[in-house]
């Protein structure tokens, strides 16, 4: 058989939508959709309470356009509206209880999509919940079309000023690939598949995050980004945000020291660790430099070989690490992004990475990131006492108590807030 041809070229994935998702109960929507007076009253109330779900031009008025049905859900009709400011702009008003393209009801597919959090394969979903493998695959991948930033961050004021960035190594059609991941305010705000680890490839991948933030706030410019020591990553961020400050991960420097310490150096490693983290907790740059100088002097007398070389490299970057003192809110280690990339790694392992077109792989990655932001926290976790999900923690509110309803509402217009 001839080998399947698979695309390895990047292309635009996120697309705008003319569907406005509103937090209205499905049964209530069905009761008012045929009554223009009641429907308009309900819609006006939604516009007043949740203006971010609607196009900005709706403030100039709208007219009820028509109604559309579907053979997939014959008992549900959706009403469309037309903007008075631009009669070419027609939007569909959809309740959160209906999935995209009328492919199902939210309450009926919510539990199956929740299990994707744990890497349950699509064939297992079809075995337990019915339908077909392709149905669940397409339903999941569809969310990769949405703008991650605008779906997760509801207002420009909530955009984080301090970020973290790293790449997850993957396999794409048997070759190396890299998921360029951006995290801020404990949410995954960017995830794109790069086909190379050079500056240009990573810049193109991280650019998806930049473009989405610019749509929400054209003047957005983050203050810092925490990265490891990989130069192409840092160069990519400098090209995208020229005024950004690169904060190198202090944890990575210590891990390199630990990896180079032999078993016979266990006592020295304990002392090195204490001195390294004492310097990390210094109260100001002067104290930080002083403690690193003491560490370097002590290491010369008590450590040798590759471990001493690693300590020397850490101390040589004292000025780089000291930049973090200028930004007290910046991330000095990669702990936060690691907490998000660990479940990403488990998900990737369960899916055996990517085989096929770049476009389908990119949608899967973006869909995972968006679901990850809205999946509920574990009920036993302490943070669950205050927040339902990472998106709830970032925005401070939810549209609906159910995570998938909340995600559906958050994807209103899918980045087309004109």
- In this prediction, residue 418 has a pLDDT band, given cuts at 50, 70 and 90, of very low
Q: Mean pLDDT, to the nearest integer, of 40-62? A: 93
CA distances for 304 relative to 127, 242, 286, 309, angstroms? 59, 40, 27, 8
pLDDT at 263 over 70: no
CA distances from 190 to 164, 182, 243, 370 (A): 10, 5, 20, 9
- pLDDT in the model for residue 12: 54
Residue 305 predicted with pLDDT over 90: no
Q: Please report the pLDDT score of residue 413 as a whole number.
A: 87
Q: Measure the CA–CA gap between 147 and 207, rounded to whole angstroms.
A: 13
Instruction: Give the pLDDT confidence score for residue 175 in this predicted structure.
Output: 87
Q: For residue 411, list its beta bridge partners.
A: none
Average pLDDT estimate for 308-313: 89
**Reported pTM:** 0.89
CA dihedral 400, 214, 61, 409 (to 10 degrees): -10
Mean pLDDT computed over 123-142: 94
Of the two residues 261 and 385, the one the predictor is more confident about is: 385
pLDDT at 2: 38
Is it the case that residue 83 has pLDDT exceeding 70? yes
Q: Are 340 and 121 in contact (CB under 8 A)?
A: no
Question: Residue 4 pLDDT more than 60?
Answer: no
Residue 309, number of CB atoms within 10 A of its CB: 14
**Residue 134, Cβ neighbours under 10 Å: how many?**
10
Region 66-88: what's the mean pLDDT?
Answer: 90
Alpha helices in 58-164 (DSSP H): 106-115, 122-129, 133-142, 148-152
Q: How far apart are CA 158 and CA 20, in angstroms?
A: 22
- Rounded mean pLDDT of the chain? 90
Contact 163, 182 (CB under 8 A): yes
Region for residue 146 given its phi and psi (left: phi exceeds 0; alpha: psi -120 to 50; beta: otherwise): beta
pLDDT at 15: 60
Q: What's the Cα-to-Cα distance from 381 to each of 100, 177, 306, 377, rounded to whole Å?
A: 32, 33, 40, 7
Q: Is 155 exposed, middle or buried (0-12, 13-18, 19+ CB in 10 A)?
A: exposed
The pLDDT of 344-357, averaged and rounded, is 86
- Residue 88 pLDDT: 85
Tell me the mean pLDDT in the region 198-202: 94
187 — pLDDT class (breaks 50, 70, 90): very high
81-85, 219-223, 245-249, 414-418: lowest mean pLDDT where? Answer: 414-418
Percent of the chain with pLDDT over 70: 94
Cα 283 to Cα 229: distance, rounded to the nearest angstrom: 24
Interacting residues of 219 by C-beta distance below 8 A, sequence separation 6+ = none
3-state secondary structure of 197: coil
Q: Identify the pLDDT of residue 222.
A: 96
């Amino acid at each position: 058989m001839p080998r399947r041809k698979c695309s390895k070229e990047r292309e635009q994935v996120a697309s705008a939508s003319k569907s406005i998702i509103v937090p209205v109960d499905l049964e209530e929507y069905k009761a008012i959709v045929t009554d223009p007076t009641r429907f308009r009253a309900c819609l006006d109330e939604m516009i007043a309470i949740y203006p971010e779900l609607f196009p900005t031009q709706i403030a100039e008025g709208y007219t009820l356009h028509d109604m559309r049905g579907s053979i997939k859900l014959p008992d549900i009709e959706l009403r469309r509206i037309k903007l008075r400011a631009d009669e070419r702009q027609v939007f569909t008003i959809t309740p959160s209880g209906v999935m995209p393209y009328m492919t199902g009801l939210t309450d009926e597919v919510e539990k199956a999509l929740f299990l994707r959090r744990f890497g349950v394969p699509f064939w297992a979903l079809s075995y337990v919940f019915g339908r077909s493998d392709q149905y669940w695959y397409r339903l999941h991948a569809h969310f990769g079309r949405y703008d991650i930033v605008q779906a997760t961050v509801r207002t420009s004021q909530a955009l984080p000023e301090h970020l973290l960035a790293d790449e997850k190594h993957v396999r794409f059609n048997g070759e190396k690939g890299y998921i360029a991941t951006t995290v801020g305010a404990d949410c995954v705000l960017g995830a794109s598949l790069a086909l190379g680890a050079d500056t240009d490839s990573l810049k193109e991948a991280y650019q998806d995050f930049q473009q989405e933030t610019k749509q929400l706030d054209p003047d957005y410019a983050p203050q810092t980004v925490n990265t490891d020591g990989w130069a192409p990553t840092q160069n990519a961020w400098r090209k995208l945000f020229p005024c950004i400050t690169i904060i190198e991960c202090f944890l990575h420097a210590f891990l390199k020291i630990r990896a180079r310490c032999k078993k016979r150096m266990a006592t020295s490693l304990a002392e090195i660790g204490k001195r390294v983290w004492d310097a990390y907790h210094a109260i100001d740059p002067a104290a930080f430099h002083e403690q690193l100088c003491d560490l370097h002097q002590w290491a010369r007398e008590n450590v040798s070989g590759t471990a001493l070389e690693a300590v020397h490299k850490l101390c040589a970057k004292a000025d780089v690490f000291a930049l973090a003192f200028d930004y007290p809110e910046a991330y000095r280690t990669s702990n936060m992004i690691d907490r998000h990339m660990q479940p990403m790694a488990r998900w990737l392992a369960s899916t055996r990475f990517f085989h096929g077109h770049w476009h389908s792989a990119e949608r899967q990655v973006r869909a995972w990131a968006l679901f990850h932001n809205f999946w509920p926290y574990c009920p036993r976790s302490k943070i669950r006492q205050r927040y339902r999900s990472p998106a709830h923690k970032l925005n401070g509110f939810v549209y609906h108590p159910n995570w998938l309803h909340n995600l559906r509402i958050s994807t209103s217009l899918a980045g087309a807030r004109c």
